[in-house]
Amino acid sequence: ICSLFLVPVRTLAAMDIAMVIDSSSNIGQRRFNLQKNFIAKLAAMLRVGPIGPHIGLIQASDSPRTEFLLTNYTQPKELLFAIKELAYLGGDSNTGKAIMHTAETFFSQENGGRRGHPRVMMVLIDGWPSDDLDQAAMLARESGINVFLVSVAKPAPEELSMVRDKDFMKKAVCKDNGFFSYPIPSWFSTTKHIRPLIQRLCSLDGLLCSKTCYNSVNIGFLIDGSSSVGDGNFQLVLEFLAGIARSFEISDVGAHIGAVQFTYEQRLEFGLSDYSNKDDAINALRRISYMSGGTSTGSAISYTTQNLFRRTGPGRNFLIVVTDGQSYDDVRGPAMAAHKQGITIFSVGVAWAPLDDLKAMSSEPKDSHTFFTREFSGLSEFVPLVVRGICKDFTENN
């Protein structure tokens, strides 16, 4: 179908679509049936198939109800029958709950989500929701889900006093740019809106939420292997870095990690594209053997800038430097050169690492990019803070 819109058909193949439909008392049985006809026509035009788009469906009511998963029906006939058989629930219009429920687990690989395929959530609302959408929509965006909101029969001026949040449409969508919000005046005039709506779903370039920090960043680990660290503590450093890596979707089309260990010398442990899945990358990280030697952090930063981040675009490159002592060489110059090359540095100091050095290395604002703990056992507490910091920077730069 996308070929009708001058988009290659294969681009549509790469799509997983969750339809969140309104099954509340707002809509009533009659309009609920019109909604079913509308989504059946949409589904028929999308040409669902094993290698084509996959569609799953969730009903929004008091509590969300998953009716079928993405891989339950990959033949058009079965899918249309499943839509026809949907039973009306009634109850509150807790759309926020339904978006949250869908964002949390619906697209997981266990539930039939396909890796590297765009994720789309099309939410239909009759009138207005009974709950708030902000938190759920934020989770959806952070999870790489493109939320479209199809609002039918939006509140009339005299009904506005009953609407909890007048900006619910703006807050729910992937981006408030007009592309992801689609108002339809009434359930009796939906047919003419099917083609323009599919045209939007088909335009892959418009799906701005597909890229998230979790599936787009390059993270380099620069690891102090000097004699003062010691073998046991070196293992704690590797565990800390594995904790950070575990938070990202590492794959050939997703996030990448690489590692350099340094003393006076530098050793490239593995490059950003050496491992194309998370398990292999984390195992490689855990297998790094401890070097032991002096501490030249400055030349290690220069080495990493040139050898690890050679061919990667700015705005998504992050370097985590972990060190336990004073560097024998200058760190300022090499760190500034790395910043200029678009690499964001988080510096993590342990034990005798001087705060001045740590701050000289880290990116602006220094306070949120600099961490320090007296004991190696305290490193694990920094995992969520570093991950959140990376995602904040990525979102601001992209």
Nearest CA-CA partner of 112 in 213, 18, 248, 249 = 18
Q: 151 versus 12: which is more confidently predicted?
A: 151
Note the pTM of the prediction, 2 decimals.
Answer: 0.67
Residues 272-311 pLDDT 10s: 999 988 999 999 999 999 999 999 999 999 999 999 997 6
Residues 305-349 pLDDT 10s: 999 997 666 678 999 999 999 999 999 999 999 999 999 999 999
pLDDT at 9: 40
7 has a pLDDT exceeding 70? no
For every residue of 6-73, DSSP letters joined together read: TS-HHHHHT-EEEEEEE-STTTHHHHHHHHHHHHHHHHHHHT--SSS-EEEEEEESSS-EEEE-TTT-
Cβ atoms < 10 Å from Cβ of 98 = 30
Residues 32, 23 contacting (CB under 8 angstroms): yes
Q: What is the dihedral of CA 327, 330, 331, 337, to 10 degrees?
A: -150
